[in-house]
């Protein structure tokens, strides 16, 4: 998973937006893990094009169990217009048309939505997101 460096010519800490359709599961997990593992390098946000009325309860339960992160306390569902303009957009693998959001760098992580699946499926996605966030952190070069 050795990807190319992300070079940004900006004067402040980069803003990374993790985006998926409902902002209820994968993007929320990525925001929480971005804040946990990469807050010294970039600011993490999550957003969606449509909102569910809550964060996925399985994601909330497992993130609390594994990392002690209470996403219901520290985060909420947000639309794209509710977050600051991002420097980097990471889409989760939307299976529908992902939004075009202006940014300096974009990539898709192609993650399967674990909603409605087993804890094992959720854990696999959570650990994959953690790994991708840590790699993303190492890829940044801010000029």
Helices (H), the chain: 26-38, 57-67, 71-74, 119-139
pTM: predicted TM-score of the whole model, two decimal places: 0.92
What are the pLDDT tens digits along the chain (143 aa)? 557 888 888 888 899 999 988 899 999 999 999 999 999 999 999 998 888 889 999 999 999 999 999 999 989 899 888 999 999 999 998 655 566 778 989 999 999 999 999 999 999 999 999 999 999 999 987 66
Go through 88-106 and write b for each residue having 16 or more CB atoms within 10 A of its CB, e for each that does not. Answer: bbbbbebeeebbebebebb
Look at residue 96 in the predicted model and tell me its pLDDT. Answer: 53
Question: Within a 13 Å sphere around the CA of 4, how many CA atoms are in the beta-carbon half?
Answer: 6
> Bridge-partner residues for 33, per DSSP?
none
């Amino acid at each position: 998973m050795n990807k190319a460096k992300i070079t940004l010519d900006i004067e402040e800490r980069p803003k990374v937006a993790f985006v998926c359709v409902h902002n209820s599961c994968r993007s929320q997990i990525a925001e929480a893990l971005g804040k946990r593992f990469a807050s010294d390098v970039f600011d993490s946000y999550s957003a969606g094009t449509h909102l569910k009325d809550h964060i996925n309860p399985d994601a909330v339960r497992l993130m609390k169990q594994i990392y002690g992160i209470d996403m219901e306390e520290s985060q909420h569902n947000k639309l794209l217009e509710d977050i600051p303009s991002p420097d980097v957009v990471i889409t989760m693998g939307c299976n529908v048309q992902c939004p075009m959001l202006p940014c300096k760098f974009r990539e898709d992580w192609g993650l399967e939505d674990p909603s409605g699946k087993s804890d094992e499926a959720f854990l696999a996605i959570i650990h994959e997101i953690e790994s991708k966030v840590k790699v993303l952190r190492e890829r940044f070069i801010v000029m």
